[in-house]
Structure 1
């Protein structure tokens, strides 16, 4: 197709580069087993109760889902002790971000956030004719709320805080967050992206939903993709006052969350024991990988998520390519402009051990740190 027919904004948007797929690596290297430590998926998969709910739901695939996902919203409302009218489900958290920016940003409006972070903030802002205002993170890789506040102008429409941040795994302290929210002018809407919030056990963390219940006019984005192991079903949701959700609901797809996804998410919320087990195994895996990677000479930064942000002190693409024949996939941070850094997902015990043993074997032969 003639590129002159494209929307003009696309000239300023780089295509999203997903992590290497398991299928591609299997085919390319003739492997039966591939471990992906790149996409921050839950390696344990969904709970048994979720699988049973999915199997039951398969009998109704001929029927459209409830467009409002009423049953899931009611379950979430009870879970958080809020009104179901303050919840909107989406096709994953990235769909939520797209809908929110598309609903609020006009041409020339500014959207403020820190970088590096989730790339959809920038691409969707540009697509809507908005202006991304990108503020570098602090020296310890946290969102710089003070610098972000200084960049707010009369043209600022949205501020987005990724908390915990992707790809750095850092959080914003509750004191800094509350101080920031107390200063934000009324013409600015704040969005808190909390895709990894379920992994946090830090007393210095305050969720967007907690602040929302304290009457801060926040928008909080959550997902079932990470902690609950439903990445393949694409279930996200937004928590905000009804009047804030109103413009978003006007452009949201009629059936944004499918029938199987709704039933699976309801079952996931009910299975509390699964969540406890997953958290325990994730923390153990994080401690193991942090220690072993550090002993290999890498710099591992504290993480509040199910992944590690690691300074490899070398070209991360080089290591990425060296690991592929072993059936191991990591996420180089080159797309964020961080050529010596990688994002490494916490796997199950045997996957983590395989990863470390492979590094121990590969580093002396090919890599000088």
Structure 2
């Protein structure tokens, strides 16, 4: 039946997420699992978000308000931008798809560094675009100079994942601003800032500031990470009204459920919970970095909610041994790092258990 397919679909490789808890429980017969593979918030959503979603469930017979007006207004106040310069949709990955659908024609080139989030490549291929991949620099960061060298008249989109997944690295704020000023007007720069709220660098300039200054930029964010709403699927982006026009034209009529919309609004109304998550995440990063280095591993300084860990040897046996003990991390072979794994920051108890199990596995 492949002759009936969209021919571009044949070029795609299905996205492989972190191993689900349910699969490990079924395969290994384990009841207690600690999943540190998918960069999820270990504390879950704000209690206010849970209550708001439960209340909204009583109105599930009604379609959601299609423009997410109240959520956009809350985001506008949170980030200091006109709510008309915000689009909300079914997760940040959906917004990335909408961007490709809105702007790419067959033959258009899209530039990004690798390894990074695979959706940039898959959505480009789906629309008949040409992905141009260049390596990260020797600091595991996006190579901005290398990107500029590859831009030509065929370039339509440039992606910068900042902080980058799976490395957790950011580009220097001044270097990013210099780069933005050099990107030609015919190119749209997409800043994937799914983890940007975790950046702890004083006065670091985020994408929304450049949008407000009028640059040809789309800044993409999510409620999945910091706000713990991964299952709710709520993403949002900042851009000029002109850039949002084609995105809104291809967006589904009702992309966000009433429950998800209500949970996102309530999350923004609970800054104390958000600050708690940020504080605990920083403590967890420091703890995991220290303990992993004591065990002989090397880590990269991360500005997200995860660490990339170099074990110095093939990762698959260690990954399997950890999983047999109920610990799920993300092997990074698919990212081109056969000796690395990515570990999400958990609660203090989860982090300690992970280190204890890791130490035990290494000793055996």
TM-score normalised by L of structure 1: 0.97
Where do residues 175-254 of structure 1 align in structure 2 (5 Å cutoff)?
175-203=174-202, 205-254=204-253
CA distance in 2 between counterparts of 1:258 and 1:317 reads 38
Give 2:330's aligned residue: 331
**Is the aligned partner of 1:26 residue 2:15?**
no
Secondary structure of 1:220's counterpart equals strand
**Unaligned 5+ residue runs, structure 1?**
none
Of stretches 5-14 and 79-88 in structure 1, the one that deviates more from structure 2 is 5-14
The superposition leaves residues 257-299 of structure 1 with CA deviations (integer Å, 9 ceiling, x where unpaired) of: 1111110000000100001111111111111110011111111
Q: Distance in 1 between matches of 2:5 and 2:131?
A: 21
Q: Secondary structure at the match of 2:307?
A: strand
**What is the aligned partner in structure 2 of residue 156 from structure 1?**
155
Residue in 2 that maps onto 1:258: 257
Following the alignment from structure 1 to structure 2, what is the Cα–Cα distance between the partners of residues 267 and 67? 18
1:285 match? 284
| Matching residue of 2:66 | 67
Q: Cα distance, 1:316 vs. partner?
A: 1.6
Residue correspondence of structure 1 range 57-136 to structure 2 within 5 A: 57-136=56-135
CA distance in 2, matches of 1:113, 1:205: 22
Q: Is the CA contact 1:301–1:310 (under 8 Å) kept in the aligned structure 2?
A: yes
* Aligned match of 2:359: 360
Partner of 1:298: 297
Deviation per residue, 1:121-160 (Å, 9 max, x gap): 0011011000001110000100000000000010000011
Query: In 2, are the aligned partners of 1:173 and 1:204 still within 8 Å (CA)?
Result: no
**CA distance 1:175–1:333, shift in 2 (3 Å):** same
1:199-232 deviations in whole A, cap 9, x for unaligned? Answer: 1111263100012122222110000000000000
C-alpha contact (below 8 Å) 2:64/2:257 kept by paired residues:
yes
Q: Which moved more, 1:316-325 or 1:42-51?
A: 316-325
Q: Distance in 2 between matches of 1:203 and 1:114?
A: 26
Secondary structure at 1:158 match in 2: strand
Q: Is the CA contact 1:76–1:84 (under 8 Å) kept in the aligned structure 2?
A: yes
Provide the rounded CA distance (Å) in 2 between the counterparts of 1:8 and 1:316.
35
> 2:144 maps to which residue?
145
Contact kept, 8 Å, 2:227 with 2:274, in 1: the verdict is yes
Instruction: Report if aligned partners of 1:173, 1:206 keep a CA contact under 8 Å in 2.
Output: no
> 1: distance between equivalents of 2:336 and 2:5?
27
Instruction: Give distance in 2, aligned partners of 1:276 and 1:336.
Output: 31
* Contact 1:160–1:191 (CA under 8 A) maintained in structure 2: yes
Aligned length: 364
**CA deviation digits over 1:149-191, x for unaligned, max 9?**
0000100000111010000100011111111111111110111
Residues 274-331 of structure 1: CA deviation (Å, up to 9, x unaligned): 0111111111111111001111111111000000011111122221111112111000
Corresponding position of 1:315: 314
1:56 is the counterpart of 2:55: yes
Which stretch of the first structure deviates more once superposed, 211-220 or 258-267?
A: 211-220
Partner SS, residue 322 of structure 1: helix
Gaps of 5+ in 2: none
Matched, 1:46 2:50: no
CA distance in 2, matches of 1:335, 1:90: 28
Contact map agreement 1:88 1:237 (CA 8 A) in 2:
yes
The answer to whether the 8 Å contact 2:185/2:216 transfers is no
